[in-house]
Amino acid sequence: MSGDLSLFRLLGLQRYSLTHACLASIERTVNAGPWTQVAVLGIGGLTALGFDRASEMMLVTSVNGQSVIDGFTGEILYRNREADGLDTSALKGTRLDHPADERFDMSGLYGGGLRCVTDDGWYVERLGPNCVLHPAGASVHFLGAKWADHNKDATFYLLDRSGEDIRALGFSWTGRTLVCATPSTLSVWNRPAPLAL
């Protein structure tokens, strides 16, 4: 049994090494397939981020308050430097300019998570210091000779490798906006409406 376990660990380490060697050797992608980067915003002390369920509107909280950002343009629509509207125990955020509106599910420093897969199969993941975007059915994990006879697609896009803590990574509820947020930077991509499945 211990020999099988050692072989398993060796194979896992080889796959890990190949994947990370490939990621270390390529440049960061600005535009990826249908995804267009629309903004890179400096937001010092970013703590959490959430999306409105019915639109591409984002609520972003930081040590310096709250911002409401349009995911299509990256434009800051509202800014409050006095309060952030973040309930850390419930992982919910309240828009301070419209407090009666539905609260946002938040992801960031205190936990939570954004969607990591769209309805049409795009997905994002963090691999060490790298944030990677994969088209439907493809994966950076299909690199290497092991998959050569299986007709697997190894297409992927490197979104970030800043080495900073990733506070939030994922898609809006509609699957049209993608974000990668660190404590100091918010990168935003969007795409046209996906095809119906």
Give the pLDDT of residue 72: 92
Give the pLDDT of residue 11: 42
Q: What is the three-state SS of the chain?
A: CHHHHHHHHHHHHHHHHHHHHHHHHCCCCCCECCEEEEEEEECCCEEEEEECCCCCEEEEEECCEEEEEECCCCCEEEEECCCCCEECCCCEECCCCCCCCCCEECEECCECCCECECCCCCEEEEECCEEEEECCCECHHHCCHHHHHHCCECCCEEEECCCCCCCEEEECCCCCEEEEECCCEEEEEECCCCCCC
How far from the centroid of its chain's Cα atoms is residue 36's Cα? 14
Q: Does the global pTM surpass 0.85?
A: no
Query: Taking the domains of the chain in order of start, what are their residue ranges?
Result: 2-190
Structure-token pair, residue 10: 């060796």
Give the pLDDT of residue 75: 96
Query: Along the 197 residues of the chain, how does pLDDT read in single tens digits?
Result: 444 434 334 344 444 576 667 767 677 778 888 999 999 999 999 999 999 998 999 999 999 999 999 999 999 999 999 999 999 999 999 999 988 888 999 999 999 999 999 999 999 998 888 888 989 988 777 776 555 666 677 788 888 877 788 899 999 999 999 999 999 999 999 998 765 54
Give the pLDDT of residue 151: 64
